[in-house]
Chains A and B, each alone.
Chain A
Amino acid sequence: MKIIRYVLYDILRSRMIIGYTAFLLLVSAALFATETNASKSILNLLNIVLIVVPLVSIVFTTIHYYNSYQFIELMLAQPIERMKLLLSEFLGVILSLSAAFLIGIGLPVLLFSADGSGISLLISGILLTFIFSSIAFWVAAITQDKAKGIGVTLLLWFYFSLIYDFIVLFLMFTFSDYPLEKAMLGFTALNPIDLGRVFVMLQMDVSALMGYTGAVYKQFFGSALGMFFALGVMIMWAVVPLFLAIRVFKKKDF
């Protein structure tokens, strides 16, 4: 527990996390100030959150891991369980990133638009922070080289936020003669960013558009079961990479 405190103290002092908070606060304040329609600013905010939050989470976590490499080595010399050490590092990172997110996006959203769509935006933002931090830990635990690690995490971010959707679109074109409704559910579950986007959008007015063309889709994700499914899958996306990271970390030679 003491380690978490050290990690937190270390991170919160860093300029990057303060900059991140300020950036989010600025963006959300600007969006709410210029747009009279709250649900529209939520939509714009969603677009930004879906790009920025994964990017910052994954890159910041990787950099933090490599920067505290010596600290980790030092700690390993002490009688501390490896799992505990990694978990404290993880908790330190996600606590600070979530705090930044909650101050930057959470405060304005709760002030201006604390309805279903606003709350779900916060939930999916926090879950995305968890997911991309734990993916970053996994990558960093595997990769020894800092430059390579950052490169890989950037590529992963690029894959999830852009390339994956292109692949889905390509598959849709190729298999457009087949009933794809169920498959679409699966495709969405395989990308946490898509899942987060759908999770928020179904709370908004635009969800009617989804019902217009993909009734199964809307019916599923619109139901309570679908919401729990989306949340469950997102939590899996956070837990599984973390678990893998711990496994690698435990066996690692320093």
Chain B
Amino acid sequence: MKNSIIVLYLFLPFFAFGKTIKVVAGNSIRQAIATAQAYDTIEVKNGYFYENQLVINIPLSIIGENFPIIDAQYQNEIFTIKAHDVTIKGFHLMNIGKTATIDWAAVKILETRNVRVEGNHIENAYFGIYLSASHNCWVENNFVTGKPSEEQNTGNGIHAWKCDSLLIKNNFVKGHRDGIYFEFVTQSSIERNFSTGNIRYGLHFMFSHNDTYTDNTIRDNGAGVAVMYTRHVTMLRNHFDHNWGSAAYGLLLKDISDSQIENNTFNNNTVGIFMEGSSRIVIQNNQFHENGWAVRVQASCDNNVFSGNNFTSNTFDIATNGSTMLNKFEKNYWDKYEGYDLNRDGIGDIGYHPVSLFASIIEQMPHGMMLLHSFMVNLMERAEKIFPSLTPEDLIDNQPVMKPISQKDTPQYVN
């Protein structure tokens, strides 16, 4: 599907054989749109335009030069796209209106296809870019920043509902409710985005099957990333950083199945991955570093495989709420492992129990957290390591790796 978008993108210039209409400061963009024919190009020169409610009903390319500013003065929205083959490029869109009944957005795409929104700056929007019931759309290189207020009065940065085959690439989203929000969006690709400082989730999706997330960075959001009720999710080389707070996660997986989570880094999150009701997920070659809990696996998860991950400097490596464990841990590196490797094959000769005694105490008695890092707890951990008695017996990595598993440098977001 992704390929077909790229092919379309390559051929789009050939479809655009219409004439070019130029708009300079003082003229009206609305008028230009009204006079344009299908497949025309509207070039907007640098300037300051007070316009809103620009509805586009025919295929058009609207291109800004040197970021002309369109200010909606907190009334209504700016571009509403109802036609296919529309391009919005190079604008600075600001001050979108707010209302409780309509989700006003800087760019709204409704029931269409082949729309490209690229290289725009969107400032103080209620919703940034809003896609609804559309397919084969392209959202790239946009810079979306908002001023968040309460959760119910703040919109999402990039919002998609009931879409298919989207490409969301290289966008920067800051200060919205959810950075990127997907509901019923399938076969889409989310690449190299940077989502930070959003008051709810950096990335949030539900019922969005067969999507691929690569090289995104999700940092310092209210509660990190939440993904729910979805099958066939692929997450590669993402960075989940510093989602700290008393109810924050790096990645919350709720009812996810048949998915792959590989080569991601989870740094400084209260909980790196929180899993609930999830099945058949392969969690491989990830880095878990300095998290409160690296992974919390609820007993409702089954047939998940954790392998080749590095667990370093986490307060707790794994926590679970039951004694049954239907998931598999193998060949991970645990910095707290204190076993030996006599035959020198790089794999420890005795298994490692990643659930520490204190972690299992906390699961039963949350108030016990008061004793975190106390002398007594440290002593008990020692004793438990030597004679395990209370920690879940089935949760064991039988082949713990002796040295950290090296991973190729993962590319970071660049803008």
B-binding residues in A (CB < 8 A)? 37, 40, 43, 46-47, 50-51, 161-162, 165-166, 168-169, 172-173, 176, 180-181, 184, 187-188, 194, 197-198, 201, 205-206, 208-215, 217-218
Contacts and interface: CB of A to CB of B under 8 A. Distances in A.
9 contacts: A51-B375, A172-B365, A173-B365, A184-B367, A194-B370, A201-B373, A210-B369, A212-B271, A212-B292
A208 B375 contact: no
Contacts of B315: 206, 209
Contact of B373 (A172, A197, A217): A197
A214 B375 contact: no
Contact of B376 (A46, A169, A180, A209): A169
A128 B367 CA distance: 24
Contacts of A194: 370-371, 374
Contacts of B246: 208, 210-212, 215, 218
Contacts of A37: 290, 313
B100 interface: no
Interface in B213-264: 244-248
Contacts of B377: 165
Interface of B: 244-248, 268, 270-271, 290, 292-293, 313, 315, 361-362, 364-379
B238 to A, nearest CB: 21
B140 to A, nearest CB: 35
B373 A47 contact: yes
Contacts of A50: 374-375
Contacts of A208: 244-246, 248, 270, 292
A198 B268 contact: no
A205 B244 contact: yes
Contacts of B375: 47, 50-51, 161-162, 165
A188 B374 CA distance: 12
Top 6 A-B residue pairs of the complex, sorted by shortest distance between their CB atoms: A211-B246, A213-B366, A165-B376, A213-B369, A209-B292, A208-B270
A67 B379 CA distance: 34
B372 A180 contact: no
Contact of B367 (A43, A165, A206, A217): A217
Nearest to A164: B376
Given A47-B378, A180-B367, A212-B246, A205 B372 contact: no
B370 A184 contact: yes
A23 B371 CA distance: 27
Contact of B370 (A161, A187, A205): A187
A214 B292 contact: no
B36 to A, nearest CB: 54
Nearest to A204: B373
A40 B247 CA distance: 22
A115 to B, nearest CB: 16
Contacts of B313: 37, 40
Contacts of B366: 212-214
A219 to B, nearest CB: 9
Contacts of B368: 169, 172, 213
Nearest to A176: B365
A168 B245 contact: no
Contacts of B270: 208-209, 212
A211 B370 CA distance: 10
A77 B267 CA distance: 67
Given A205-B244, A213-B362, 5 more contacts: A206-B373, A208-B248, A210-B370, A212-B270, A218-B246
A19 B293 CA distance: 39
Contacts of A169: 361, 368, 371, 376
Interface centre among A162, A169, A184, A201 (most CB of B within 10 A): A169
Contacts of A180: 367
A217 B365 CA distance: 14
Nearest to A40: B313
B245 A214 contact: no
A173 B374 CA distance: 17
A187 B370 CA distance: 10
A188 B368 CA distance: 11
Nearest to A172: B365
A198 B367 CA distance: 13
A165 B245 CA distance: 26
A240 B369 CA distance: 29
Contacts of B292: 206, 208-209, 212
B251 to A, nearest CB: 16
Given A40-B313, A208-B246, A214 B373 contact: no
A212 B370 CA distance: 11
